Amino acid sequence: MFYFLMDLLGTVAFAISGVLVAMDKRLDLFGVFIIAFVTAVGGGTLRDLLIGNTPVAWMLESTYIITIIGTVIPAIIFREKLRYLRKSFFLFDTLGIGLYTMVGIEKGLNANLLPVMCIILGTITASFGGVIRDILCNEIPVIFRKEIYATACIVGGSSYFLLRKLPLGDEYVYLASILIVIGIRLVAVKYKIALPGIYKTK
Amino acid sequence: MFYFLMDLLGTVAFAISGVLVAMDKRLDLFGVFIIAFVTAVGGGTLRDLLIGNTPVAWMLESTYIITIIGTVIPAIIFREKLRYLRKSFFLFDTLGIGLYTMVGIEKGLNANLLPVMCIILGTITASFGGVIRDILCNEIPVIFRKEIYATACIVGGSSYFLLRKLPLGDEYVYLASILIVIGIRLVAVKYKIALPGIYKTK
Amino acid sequence: MFYFLMDLLGTVAFAISGVLVAMDKRLDLFGVFIIAFVTAVGGGTLRDLLIGNTPVAWMLESTYIITIIGTVIPAIIFREKLRYLRKSFFLFDTLGIGLYTMVGIEKGLNANLLPVMCIILGTITASFGGVIRDILCNEIPVIFRKEIYATACIVGGSSYFLLRKLPLGDEYVYLASILIVIGIRLVAVKYKIALPGIYKTK
């Protein structure tokens, strides 16, 4: 239940981030909807394809589609106001990353995969929707260039496997890991922390 | 049988549309062949991956590959003449969309999916080959920008589920839905109808 | 065992080719790692998804990930020196293509697919990682434009099915096919042989 709610909240957060990018590219109504859709379900779709055997989650449950439609329509109607709320959406998006990371890890554990694969699946769930969004909009995916994004997922995901060894309730470990992902991203963006450069500045 | 023939006709139509785009980008022989191939089978491949359990259709039947090769070779040989036939190919492509939409819906029904998922699968089957084609050619996919394309699939697919409730033979419902997809696209292109704009014109 | 070793060698070769392209695009540390990763496993992932039923190879074995990490870290540390070794890496990449082609054919045979599908799977295994690499870096994939690359895989793969009919040991047929792929690419690059042009030069 908790797990399902997390998944839906993440879906709303990512759908809105898709709408914002698609409208920057001035796509038509259908384009906006599709970009919102792939941003929201793209990561989970790739995760489910890689795990195999599990069917792709959103095919079996109309909840995802309904949630996305119910997010995109008001987002388009109130599009003028969305602009003023960019800061809140950044928070939303960050929340989505934290939630989706743990959803991916959970699915990996259910499929009896190694911790390292679970962490990769969590990172894919959280970040790949944005990668597809950027590819469809003909951009080099933003996460490859400047943001601490996937790194936050990887660190948060690893923390989960460490914290699990402590005598804590499962919900606390969950929550702590989500907060670690969110915290790292917020701190990184606030203080403009990026991965160490590997190029000589020109 | 009818269903299989529809699938092959759609394959020819989409392969030719792939050849035309690839030659505009001046790709080499292999590039032209690959773009024709992904345009023709890309939508069905994504559909089959999402449904899971069904193997990807073109892997099990050499008919698809043979059809594509048998389309691409003459298309390349007579490439000078293809240019004069653009209008006919637009009709071909539109036919392909109608046919593929119903192929996708049929596969969704066979997998016992909800109507809304079947309509999505129909739309993916019909439009995703073109999306991959455009991504590989480094363009923002055309269907996100200006054409009534996916919308035609969605309306035609929805009609199928409505018409099915009437006391009509299955073939007629099929045919009517295909004609609705084709009709919407033809009318939209002829009268330059697009989705309502959501941006203030600058 | 031999087969597994081939797979790992190919992984190293492709990971390095990914690092080189990602650094040309000045991606950050994470971006470099991801591009190396998808270049190395992208072709095999698509192959396994298309075959279905088999789980994606790198999810079940941490060897691939460890190999890639163990390749990328020294490649980044010694990045200044990598530049001087481009020629050796071209050889590496060519070796990778030969090896991966046969890995893909082997997997297709295990899944009881037709020879033509096995050859396609071999070609996908060898070339699709590079295609994803180029898409993520926002380039038209290089193999669609000028290099004899996939053609080498297709010819080598076809040779395998011809040579198999001769009274030779399996390892020799394997080795000969790999050498054919490698040989064609080396000769093509050395003598600047490309597929016949299909456009009038302007």
Q: Please name which of B137, B21, B113, B144 lies closest in space to residue B75, comparing C-alpha atoms.
A: B21
Distance CA A45, CA C71 (A): 29
Give CB contacts under 8 A, 24+ apart, made by B62-67.
B62/C114, B62/C116, B62/C117, B63/B8, B64/B8, B64/B11, B64/B40, B65/B37, B65/C116, B65/C120, B67/B8, B67/B11, B67/B12, B67/B15
Q: Does residue B118 fall inside a structural domain?
A: yes
Residue C186: enclosing H or E segment and its boundaries? helix C170-190
Six token digits for residue B130: 């073109």
CA–CA gap between residue A56 and residue A45 (Å, rounded): 6
User: Within 10 Å of residue B193's Cβ, how many Cβ atoms?
Assistant: 12
- C141 to chain B: closest CA residue: B136
Q: Taken in order C185, C187, C189, C193, is the CA torsion positive or negative?
A: negative
Neighbours of chain B (3+ CB pairs under 8 A): A, C
Domain for residue B89, yes or no? yes
pLDDT for residue C96:
85
* Residue among B49, B114, B141 minimizing CB distance to A62: B114
pLDDT in tens, C106-146: 999 999 999 999 999 999 999 889 888 888 887 777 776 66
Which of residues C31 and A199 earns the better pLDDT score? C31
| pLDDT greater than 90 at residue C183 | yes
Closest CB to C135: pick one of B29, B35, B135: B135
Cα(B126)–Cα(C138) distance, rounded to whole angstroms? 25
CB contact (8 A) between residue C28 and residue A53: no
Residues of C with Cβ-Cβ distance to A201 under 8 angstroms: none
Asked if the structure places residue B202 within a domain, the reply is no
Q: How far apart are CA A123 and CA A140, in angstroms?
A: 18
Which of C113, C117, C124, C144 has the most B C-beta neighbours within 10 Å, making it the best mutation to test the interface with B?
C144
pLDDT of C146 reads: 64
Domain-embedded: residue A111: yes
Residue C198 covered by a domain: no
**Which one has a higher pLDDT value, A61 or A39?**
A39
Q: How far is A50 from chain B (nearest CA, A)?
A: 10
Reported as a single tens digit per residue, the pLDDT across C98-117 is 989 999 999 999 999 999 99
Q: What is the pLDDT of residues A97-120, one digit of tens each?
A: 898 999 999 999 999 999 999 999
> What's the pLDDT score for residue C202?
45
pLDDT 10s digits, A80-91: 777 677 777 777
In whole angstroms, what is the distance from residue C134 CA to residue B159 CA?
Answer: 40
Distance, in angstroms, between B81 CA and closest chain A CA?
A: 32
pTM higher than 0.95:
no
User: Residue A166: which domain range?
Assistant: 2-190
User: What residues of chain B lie within 8 A of the CB of C198, using their CB?
Assistant: 23, 28-29, 32, 76, 79
How many structural domains are present in chain A? Answer: 1
d(CA C142, CA A46) in angstroms, rounded, equals 25
State the pLDDT at residue C121.
Answer: 94
| DSSP-H helix ranges across chain B | 2-24, 29-51, 57-60, 62-77, 79-82, 86-110, 115-136, 150-163, 170-190
Residues of B engaging C, defined by a Cβ cutoff of 8 Å: 22-23, 25-32, 34-35, 45, 49, 52-56, 59-60, 62, 65, 76, 79, 135-138
Radius of gyration in angstroms for the set of CA atoms belonging to chain B, rounded to a whole number: 17
**Structural domain includes residue A197:** no
Q: How confident is the model at residue A197 (pLDDT cuts 50, 70, 90)?
A: low
Averages of pLDDT over runs of 10 residues in chain B (202 residues) are 76 87 84 90 92 83 91 86 73 84 92 93 92 83 72 93 90 92 89 71 48
For residues C164 and C6, the model is more confident at C164
- Give me the residue from A34, A56, A65 closest to B116, CB to CB: A65
Per-residue pLDDT, B9: 82
Q: Do A29 and B195 touch (CB under 8 A)?
A: yes
Residue C136 to residue A141, Cβ atoms within 8 A: yes
* CA separation, residue A99 to residues A14, A31, B24, B46 (Å): 11, 26, 44, 26
Residue C202: inside a domain, yes or no? Answer: no
Report the alpha-carbon distance of residue A109 to residue A106 in Å, rounded.
5
Percent with pLDDT over 90 in chain C: 37
Asked if A146 and C34 come within 8 Å (Cβ–Cβ), the reply is no
State the pLDDT confidence band at A202, using cuts at 50, 70 and 90: very low
Give Cα A135 distance to the centre of its chain.
16
Q: For residues B166 and A90, what is the distance between their CA atoms, to the nearest angstrom?
A: 49
Please state, in angstroms and rounded to a whole number, the distance separating the CA atoms of residues B104 and B31.
Answer: 27
| A123-143 mean pLDDT | 84
pLDDT, chain A, mean: 85
Contact B137 C135 (CB under 8 A): no
Indicate whether A119 belongs to any domain. Answer: yes
Position A201 pLDDT exceeds 60: no
